Amino acid sequence: MTAELEVAGPAEVLTDIRGGVLVITINRPEQRNAMSKSAAEAIAAALTRLDADPDLAVGILTGGTETFCAGMDLKRFQQLGERPVVDGRGFGGLVESPPAKPLIAAVEGWALGGGFEMVLAADLVVAGEGAKFGLPEVKRGLIARAGGAIRIPRVLPRAVALELLLTGEPMAAATAKHFGLVNRVTADGAALQAALELASVVAGNAPLAVRASKALADRSRLWPDGEAFTRQVEFTDPVFASQDAKEGPAAFAERRTPRWTGR
């Protein structure tokens, strides 16, 4: 079931629901999927839908089989002064406020500038072997301010992160996987299918536990070690007190598939 979001321009963003997974496809191939304001608004709307719909467990963001996203649509910026930023969500409707539910980036071809920064805002990354990731802002007298300069040093070793930021040169998918930026590398054209397989595994787990695990992993990064175990109870206690926490062990003991309720 594929449908264009009403807030987008003609087919700029498509959504496709597949077994509890919301696939969000940037669909501006003639512009190398460069981000427009309307596309950013459509992605923001899709992410809001992902978090609000209890039947959706995981999101996948992709650009199809040619290019993930070449960054901001510079022609629209020059002609109209348009910036693909959504209040409260940032560039692409994503980078400043990722969804509470897991988001997987399925990357084929180039992910440049803001496109790469959207990948960095995702939780998991699957890439075709020909995918390339780059932050070329310094080549244009700019800086990667949509999360690139902030997130890259958190994901990659400092020297590797600085090489990306200071040279503006791209990184290949195999290298990105070597350094932990990419989870899985596939044959070109197979990233979305591999992302769907990964998403189905995540979607099969208890939704409260998955969501709380993501939140705890994200927020605890800057907690002092002496406070971490005390502060985590805000996330862990509601999960252990849930109906799903009773259902999981019961299903294991009875050798059946758990029936999660999200409560």
The residues assigned a catalytic role are 117, 137
Tell me if 118 sits within 8 A of 91, measured CB to CB. Answer: yes
DSSP 222: G
Tell me the C-alpha distance between 22 and 54, whole Å.
12
Give the pairing type, strands 124-128 and 110-112: unpaired
The whole-angstrom separation of Cα 226 and Cα 40 is 40
Angle in degrees, CA 124, 129, 130, rounded to 5: 115
For residue 204 the two structure tokens come to 């099969």
**96's tokens:** 């400043």
HEC string for 12-72? CEEEEEECCEEEEEECCHHHCCCECHHHHHHHHHHHHHHHHCCCCCEEEEECCCCCCECCE
Nearest to 145 by CA among 85, 232, 235: 85
Selection from 184, 168, 153, 188 nearest residue 64 by Cα: 188
Return d(Cα 43, Cα 230) in angstroms, integer: 36
Task: Estimate the share of the chain in helix, then strand, then coil, as percent rounded to the nearest 5.
Answer: 45, 20, 35
